[in-house]
Amino acid sequence: MIITLKDGSKKEYSQPMAVIDIAADISEGLARVATAGEVNGETVDLRTVLDQDCTLSILTFEDPEGAGAFRHTTSHIMAQAIKRLYPQVKLAIGPSIADGFYYDVDSDTPLTAEDLEKIEKEMKKIVKEALPITRFTKPRDEAIAYFKEKNEPYKVELIEDLPEGEEISFYQQGEFVDLCAGPHLMSTKPVKAFKLTSLAGAYWRGSEKNKMLTRIYGTSFAKKADLEAYLTRLEEAKKRDHRKLGKQLGLFMMREEGPGFPFFLPKGMVLKNTLLDYWREIHRKAGYVEISTPIMLSRHLWETSGHWDHYKENMYTTVIDDVDFAIKPMNCPGGILVYQSEPRSYRDLPLRMGELGLVHRHEKSGQLHGLMRVRCFTQDDAHIFMMPEQIRDEIKGVAKLIDEVYQLFGFKYHVELSTRPEDSMGSDEDWEMATEALRGALDDLGLPYVVNEGDGAFYGPKIDFHLEDSIGRTWQCGTIQLDFQLPLRFNCEYIGADGEKHRPIMIHRVAFGSIERFIGILIEHFAGAFPTWLAPVQAKVLPISDKHMEYAKKVEAALAQAGIRCETDSRAEKIGYKIREARLEKVPYMLVVGAKEEEEGLVSVRSRFAGDEGQRKLSEFITDIKEEISSRRIRETVTEEEK
C-alpha cells in the first residue's frame, strides 16, 4: 500500500495502518499534535485503518478540521463532567463550531453561571485523568436499547432517524459513552486550554415546536496563550457591541412592536445617508444607472424566478384581489423587468443597473441579532446585463469597486469562490462556463482565493468577499454572482451585431451587502469612533460659560455654512464635563471657546486623534476639516493614556 503525503512524498507499507500510526512513523512529534486525518480529501478519525493506496494529510489544530476534532473532543469532556455532576441531565448534541463548541442538554433544574465554574473544574479533572478515547459500533437495535436503558431519549431519537443499515458509532472515555460519528483525539490529555463562555436556550433540532434545551457554549485551544488571546478579543468585542453603542450614540433602536425591523434615529440616518451618498458617487463613476423597483410583486414573478419554489419559507406573502403576492426578499426579478421594459441592443451592453432596494426575509426570532441579522434591510444591489465576451472585464470591474470600498474603511479581506450546490437550476455546461468565468477573472486580477465547494446560489456560482475587522473577526459582505439561469427563465434578449436575438448573461452583486449589517460592522470596527467624514456629528462647539454662547453660535453657524455637521453644547455645565461627554459621544473634534477665542476669532481644538491640538483660526480649522472630509481620510483614534 502506497500512502501519498501532503508534500508529495510517499510511504509504503506492507500491512494496514491506522492514521495515528502513520503519523508516528513520520514523526513522534507529529503524532503528539495530530488531531485527525484527511484521506482522499475526507476528514477521518486518527483510529481509521488504511488498507489501500490513498492520499493522506495529518491534521493538527492549525487546520480547521483539526481544530474541529480538538473542540469536538472538548464538548465530550464537558458532557462527561455534566453527567458526573448532574446525573439526571439528558444529553442532546454537542458539535464543534467556529471558534468553539457547544452541547445542548435537558435539565429539570436550570443551569447557571455558577454551574459553569463547577463543570470547568470537573473537566480539568477529566483532562488530568488522561482517559484514552476509544471507538466502537453497535447494531441499530442494540444502540437504541443501550440509550433507552441510560434514559437518554434524545440519543434514541437521533438513532431512530438514521437510515436502516447505517453504522452506529460510539466513543468512550472512562465511564462516559456518547453516540458520535467523530473524529476525536486519542485521549483527553491534550485538552488543557478551555473555557465555558455562556449559556443560551435552544429548541431541540431548531424547531419551535420542540422543547427548549440549555445550550452551553465553550471554546478550547491547543495553547493557553491562544485561549487567553481569544478571551481578550471576546472582551474587546463586548465593548464594541453595536447594539450597546447604537443605543449610546443614538443611532438606531429595536422595539418589540417590530422584532427584527430596525428603527434608525436622526444620527443613524445621517450615518446611513452618508454611506448611501458615497455608494451613489462611486457607482456614477463606474458607469451605473440607478433604478427603484416595487417592494411587493405577484406570485407569478416569483414562480418564474424560482424563488417561490426555492425560497418561499423565507418570504412574506399576502393576497391582493384574490392573487398571491410576495414582499420581495431580493431585488433581481424587479431588475429584470426593468431590463425588459424596452428592446435592447448589443450597443447597450454592458448595462449596469444599481438599486438600493428594501428587502424582507423571514428570519427565526432566535437568529435575530441587532443590525447583523434583521428581517428587513437595504441591499446595495446591482445587476449587470452583458454579452459572453464581456464577462471577465465586468467581473474584474466589480471586484475593483468592492476593493475600493473595503480599502476606504481599512478592511483586509479574503475571497472565496463558491461552486454549484445540490439544489440548483441549469445545465452542467452553463455551470461550468459560469464557474470558469469567475475563476478566470480572479486569476487575471491576481486575487488569491479558496474554493468553497457546493455553496453557490441555486442559479449560479459566486465570489464572496470576507472582510476582517479591527479585532480580527471576519464578515461576509460583498458578493459577485454570475447567473445564466434568470435571463433564460425570463426570456431576456438583446439584438446582436448580426441582427439576431441573443440571451444576455447577468451578474448579481453587492458591495456593502446589507446597509444595516454593514453599519453594524462599522460601529464595531471603529468602536463607534467613526472617521470624520462618516461621523454623524463632526465637530462640537463647547462654550466655557454662558457669556460665550453668542460666539459659540457664530462658530456653529460658520461650520454649518461650510457643510460641517456640528452642534453646540449649551448646557450650564463645567467645561471638563462637556469635554468628557463629547468624548463619550465619539465626536471627532471639540472646539472650546472662551474670552480669548472670542476676542481673536480663534477656537481651541481638541480631537479624538491627538488630544489638545492648540488654538487655531476658525477659518484654518474649517479649511483643514473640509479637506479631511472630502478626502475621506482616516485619522487614528488614540487613548487618553497615549495622548
Of the candidates 283, 249, 354, 332, which has an alpha carbon nearest to the alpha carbon of residue 581? Answer: 249
SS3 183: coil
Range scoring the smallest mean pLDDT among 39-43, 539-543, 558-562: 39-43
Of the candidates 33, 29, 62, which has an alpha carbon nearest to the alpha carbon of residue 46? Answer: 33
The contacts of residue 332 (CB under 8 Å, 6+ apart) are 305, 381, 383, 483, 486, 506, 508
Arithmetic mean of pLDDT over the chain: 93
Q: Domain spanning 256-295+329-525 has what CATH number?
A: 3.30.930.10
- For the chain, the residue count is 643
Q: What is the mean pLDDT of residues 355-378?
A: 91
* Consecutive H or E run containing 202: strand 193-203
3-state per-residue secondary structure call for 237-275: HHHCCHHHHHHHCCCEECCCCCCCCCEECHHHHHHHHHH
Residue tagged active-site, from 180, 332, 376, 566: 332
Report the b/e string of 461-476 with b at 16+ CB within 10 A: bbbbbbbebeeebebe
300 is catalytic: no
Q: What is the mean pLDDT of residues 592-604?
A: 93
Q: Tens digit of pLDDT for each residue in 281-299?
A: 999 999 999 999 999 999 9
Bridge partners, residue 365, by sequence: none
383 is catalytic: yes
Sign of the CA dihedral with 167 first, then 173, 177, and 183 last: negative
For domain 539-630, which CATH number applies: 3.40.366.10, 3.90.105.10, 3.40.50.800, 3.90.1150.10?
A: 3.40.50.800
**Contact, 79 vs 101, CB < 8 A?**
no
Q: Tens digit of pLDDT for each residue in 153-175?
A: 999 999 998 888 778 999 999 99
39 alpha carbon, distance to own chain's centre: 30
- Radius of gyration of the CA atoms of the chain, in A: 30
What band does 641 get if pLDDT is binned at 50, 70 and 90?
A: very low
Which residue ranges does the chain devote to CATH 3.30.980.10? Answer: 66-239
The contacts of residue 522 (CB under 8 Å, 6+ apart) are 409, 530, 534
- Taking CA atoms, 457 is separated from 312, 383, 452, 623, in Å, by 15, 15, 12, 48
Q: What is the mean pLDDT of residues 316-345?
A: 95
Q: Tens digit of pLDDT for each residue in 495-525?
A: 999 999 999 999 999 999 999 999 999 999 9
How far apart are the C-alpha atoms of 72 and 94, rounded to whole Å?
7
One DSSP character per residue, 276-324 reads: HHHHHHHHHHTT-EE----SEEEHHHHHHHTHHHHSGGG--EEEETTEE
Q: Tens digit of pLDDT for each residue in 51-71?
A: 999 999 999 999 999 999 999
Instruction: Please report where in the chains the cell 446560489 appears, as a residue.
Output: 457
For domain 2-60, which CATH number applies: 2.60.40.1120, 3.30.2290.10, 3.10.20.30, 3.40.50.300?
A: 3.10.20.30
* Strand arrangement of the beta sheet that strand 296-298 belongs to: 296-298, 323-327, 317-320
Residue tagged active-site, from 71, 80, 375, 379: 379
**Contact, 184 vs 132, CB < 8 A?**
no
**Contact, 548 vs 554, CB < 8 A?**
no
Residue tagged active-site, from 83, 360, 361, 373: 361
Instruction: Please report where in the chains the cell 453668542 appears, as a residue.
Output: 550
Residue tagged active-site, from 72, 462, 540, 548: 462
pLDDT score for 311: 86
The contacts of residue 433 (CB under 8 Å, 6+ apart) are 484
Torsion (CA) 220, 226, 227, 229 in degrees, nearest 10 = -150
pLDDT score for 516: 96
| DSSP assigned state of 548 | G
pLDDT score for 474: 87
pLDDT score for 271: 97
369 is catalytic: no
Q: Tens digit of pLDDT for each residue in 90-148?
A: 999 999 998 899 999 999 888 988 999 999 999 999 999 999 999 999 999 899 999 99
CB-based burial label for 375 (10 Å; 0-12, 13-18, 19+) = buried
How far apart are the C-alpha atoms of 480 and 478, rounded to whole Å?
7
* Consecutive H or E run containing 210: none
Q: Does the pLDDT of residue 643 top 50, yes or no?
A: no
180 is catalytic: no
pLDDT score for 642: 47
How far apart are the C-alpha atoms of 355 and 271, rounded to whole Å?
19
Range scoring the smallest mean pLDDT among 70-79, 101-110, 631-640: 631-640
Q: What is the mean pLDDT of residues 547-567?
A: 95
Which residue ranges does the chain devote to CATH 3.10.20.30? Answer: 2-60
Question: What is the bridge-based pairing of β-strands 323-327 and 296-298?
Answer: antiparallel
Residue tagged active-site, from 72, 184, 283, 383: 383
More confident: 493 or 427: 493
Residue tagged active-site, from 45, 381, 430, 569: 381
Which residue ranges does the chain devote to CATH 3.30.930.10? Answer: 256-295+329-525
The contacts of residue 229 (CB under 8 Å, 6+ apart) are none
373 is catalytic: no
Residue tagged active-site, from 242, 272, 508, 517: 508
Which residue ranges does the chain devote to CATH 3.40.50.800? Answer: 539-630
* C-alpha cell belonging to residue 457: 446560489
3-state per-residue secondary structure call for 388-442: HHHHHHHHHHHHHHHHHHHHHHCCEEEEEEECCCCCCCCCHHHHHHHHHHHHHHH
Torsion (CA) 398, 400, 406, 409 in degrees, nearest 10 = -120
How far apart are the C-alpha atoms of 286 and 279, rounded to whole Å?
11
Q: Does the pLDDT of residue 366 top 90, yes or no?
A: no
Q: How many CB atoms lie within 10 A of CB 349?
A: 19
> DSSP alpha helices (H): ranges in 34-108?
64-85
332 is catalytic: yes
Q: Domain spanning 66-239 has what CATH number?
A: 3.30.980.10
**Contact, 131 vs 123, CB < 8 A?**
no
508 is catalytic: yes
Long-range contacts of 188-192 (CB under 8 A, 24+ apart): 188/73, 188/77, 188/126, 188/127, 188/129, 188/130, 188/131, 188/133, 189/127, 189/130, 190/33, 190/70, 190/222, 191/70, 191/73, 191/74, 191/77, 191/127, 191/220, 192/127, 192/224
3-state per-residue secondary structure call for 490-538: CCCCEECCCCCEECCEEEEEEEEEEHHHHHHHHHHHCCCCCCCCCCCCC
The one-letter code for the residue type at 378 is: T
Task: Determine the Cα angle at 235 with ends 252 and 96, to 5°.
Answer: 100
